[in-house]
Amino acid sequence: MELRFSTWQEVDAYLQDSKTIIQPIGSTEQHGPNGLIGTDALCPESLAVALGEKTGALVAPTIAVGMAQHHLGFAGSVTLRPSTLIAVIQDTVNSLIRHGFERFYFLNGHGGNVATVNAAFAEIYAQSSMAMTAADRSQVRCKLVNWWQAEGVMALSEELFGEAEGSHATCGEVSLTQYVYPHSIKSAEMDPPIAPTGPFYDAADYRRRFPDGRIGSNPSLASPEAGEKLFKKALAGLEKDYRAFSA
């Protein structure tokens, strides 16, 4: 069940049975020569919708722009600064708390969001802890789950792609979007086949170190068939984890 396709009466009825909502969160940033700029939003969104169908969970509209300052050296990338993203998450969660939601299952598609999302959770808990009467908010629980860390997914990526999986514009995430959006498959030469790895700082530094945008990956190995396997593996792991969180 998706919030954007529901009526307020349907949400009222949902809240009689469940206080948990799935919040997909991603990023709008370059993903190398054959990866879609929407990759990090499309992956958690498609998994969240499937997870919602399996479990009956309500799925909030995707927060599709994340913390991606280091990708601004590439055309099309968009970022929120950390403080803005914290505000977006706080306002979203606080709005939903007002209606009675208590558990927030953030399904994430972008490693660069992790620190900021956890900072936003700390702000939300501080708000509960510092309230004059904490009773109304004391049940609030937020959880961040990276889809690529769902049970079995990293092992499957390793089996499918070995060291070519990399850490940005990965074979796994590109495969997942190829499975879900087969009409948007792109192909490109990868030179060198496996991209360099290493640390980075701001956008100009990132562009210098990783000229085509990839880190450590060779996403020319991506395929919709691999994407289907990864999607099914991730969904099974997420279902187990969501049910435990929501119970």
List residues binding Ni ion (CB under 5 A).
40, 173
If the CB atoms of residues 129 and 167 are measured against Ni ion, the closer one turns out to be: 167
- Find the shortest distance in angstroms from Cβ 40 to Ni ion: 4
106: helix, strand or coil: strand
Closer of 92 and 113 to Ni ion (Cβ): 113
CB-nearer residue toward Ni ion: 40 or 241: 40
Query: In the complex, what is the shortest distance from the CB of residue 26 to Ni ion, in angstroms, rounded to a whole number?
Result: 8
Q: Please report which helix (H) or strand (E) contains residue 122, including its range.
A: helix 114-130
CB of 80 to Ni ion, least distance (A): 16
Nearer to Ni ion, 103 or 110 (CB): 110
Determine contact, residues 88/117, Cβ cutoff 8 Å: no
Which residue's CB is nearer to Ni ion, number 45 or number 173? 173
DSSP three-state, residue 140? coil
Residue 40 to residue 30: CA distance in whole angstroms: 10
Query: Of all residues in this chain, which one has the CB nearest to Ni ion in the complex?
Result: 40
User: Which residue lies nearer to Ni ion by CB, 97 or 160?
Assistant: 160
Contact of 170 with 190, CB cutoff 8 Å: no
Closest distance between Ni ion and the C-beta of residue 173, in Å? 5
Minimal distance in Å, beta carbon 71 to Ni ion? 10
State in angstroms the smallest separation of the CB of 185 from Ni ion: 16
Q: How far apart are alpha carbons 230 and 101 in whole angstroms?
A: 30
Q: Using the minimum distance from each CB to Ni ion, give the nearer residue, 129 or 184.
A: 184
Task: Give the shortest CB-65-to-Ni ion separation in angstroms.
Answer: 14
CA distance 128 to 134: 6
Residue whose pair of structure tokens reads 């000229």 in the numeric block: 211
DSSP 40-94: HHHHHHHHHHHHHHHH--EEPPPB-----GGGTTSTT-B---HHHHHHHHHHHHH
DSSP code of 32? T
| Two tokens, residue 157 | 């990526």
Give the number of other CB atoms < 10 A from CB of residue 95.
11
